[in-house]
Structure 1
Amino acid sequence: MTGPVFFTEELSNSKVAAIYPSAELARRQAERLRQAMSLSARQVQVLVPGERHPGRKLEPESHNIFRTMIWAHVRLGVIGAIAGLMVYVALRMADIPAVDQSPWLSWLMLVMYGGIFGLMLGGLVTLRPDHDRYVMRVQEALGEGDSAVVVHATSAWQKARAKEFLEAGGAETASTL
């Protein structure tokens, strides 16, 4: 694993799931994928119908969600405030009358709104809306009696290669961003 990504504090931000009609086929494909890409057993897991806690294999880093929440908000809030400050400086340099007439209020409002916008982006990163389709598709498949191979990629390249490999084997895939 390469280490946490700047905003999420997770080791694996990208995930790919492939749906198979039988547990045996899923296990074989998982093993082939592990060997073909030199992935660890923690990165490639098989989920079967009746699994007690499928969420642990789908999102194994859920314990990091609190850290992700804090750091995404702090980092993006600061970046937003800095962006607001840069907008203020640009408007001052452009001699915008509204900014020139009330510089302190303009500075305060632009920095504050930039920070608030950054905090809202931090909330979006924390929610991880890109994971919904992936999680729901796997849970739906498990409910229908199918099995799934889940890959926790540590890079975009690894995710793309795993997805290609699984689709080449005839599987339907669902992935995160």
Structure 2
Amino acid sequence: MTGNPLNAEQASTKIAALFDTRSAANDAAERVCHEAHLRRGQVRLVHPYEAHFGRKLEPENDAIARTAVRSHLMMGTLGAVVGLAIVGILHRQGVEAVMDSPGFAIGAALFLGMVFGMLLAGLVTARPDHQLVITPVREAVQHGRWALLVHPTTPQQCNEAMRALRNTTAEVLRTA
């Protein structure tokens, strides 16, 4: 569920709900599947004290790798184009440093534009918004609570899942 051309994940939005009991978590899982029309693989339970639940939080490892490659290529190229555009503008304005060494200016603009573009791509790939869900889930599981993880693939599924979870007693968390 993404309008972002840099992202290769099908379910880039993560929703988590935290529960104190297994029955509440199971009931919520059934409710979300039914009301949001989700497949069973899109809804996962994390047990209290479960050690290795990272795959449940981020099930699309291959898509994350594709996102990294795609975003770095696209943002690096875009950065290079922006750098060249800036050199063009400076050249048109007659900036002495660009006029005296156009080759150096173009090389520096390409390099710096690509570097800044790739730095931004790293931020896109790292998805810092996911920490808003991952950290509370990790802490809840370490303290004996249950976590329900939902991976909607469409905006409609996301809205319906959020609506279904709001009608529970759970603490509900969501990424962008």
Superposition TM-score tier, normalisation by shorter sequence: 0.7 to 0.9
Give the unaligned 5+ runs of structure 1. Answer: none
- Which digits, 9 at most, give the CA deviation of each residue in 1:23-57, with x for residues without a partner? 11111111111111111111122222143531121
- Which digits, 9 at most, give the CA deviation of each residue in 1:101-150, with x for residues without a partner? 32222222112111100111122222222222311211111122211111
Letter in 1 for 2:150: V
* CA contact 1:14–1:156 (8 Å) conserved in 2: no
- Which digits, 9 at most, give the CA deviation of each residue in 1:2-24, with x for residues without a partner? 68953232211110101111111
- The answer to whether structure 1 residue 137 and structure 2 residue 136 are counterparts is yes
- The answer to whether structure 1 residue 40 and structure 2 residue 46 are counterparts is no
- Which digits, 9 at most, give the CA deviation of each residue in 1:61-84, with x for residues without a partner? 124433333222122111111121
- The answer to whether structure 1 residue 66 and structure 2 residue 65 are counterparts is yes
CA distance in 2, matches of 1:103, 1:157: 52
* CA contact 1:15–1:150 (8 Å) conserved in 2: yes
How many aligned positions are there?
A: 176
- What TM-score results when the alignment is normalised by the length of structure 2? 0.86
- What TM-score results when the alignment is normalised by the length of structure 1? 0.85
Q: Provide the residue aligned with 1:21 in structure 2.
A: 20
Give the unaligned 5+ runs of structure 2. Answer: none
Q: Provide the residue aligned with 1:166 in structure 2.
A: 165
* CA contact 2:35–2:161 (8 Å) conserved in 1: no
Q: Provide the residue aligned with 2:94 in structure 1.
A: 95
* CA contact 1:15–1:175 (8 Å) conserved in 2: yes
* CA contact 1:5–1:11 (8 Å) conserved in 2: no
* CA contact 1:14–1:155 (8 Å) conserved in 2: no
* Matched position secondary structure for 2:91: helix
Identity of aligned residues (%): 35
My pick for the range that moved more, 42-51 or 4-13, is 4-13
CA distance in 2, matches of 1:7, 1:76: 9
CA distance in 2, matches of 1:29, 1:106: 59
CA distance in 1, matches of 2:159, 2:92: 45
Runs of 4+ in 1 over 6 A off after TM superposition: none
CA distance in 1, matches of 2:171, 2:120: 31
* Matched position secondary structure for 1:60: coil
CA distance in 2, matches of 1:158, 1:98: 55
* Matched position secondary structure for 2:50: coil
* CA contact 1:4–1:12 (8 Å) conserved in 2: no
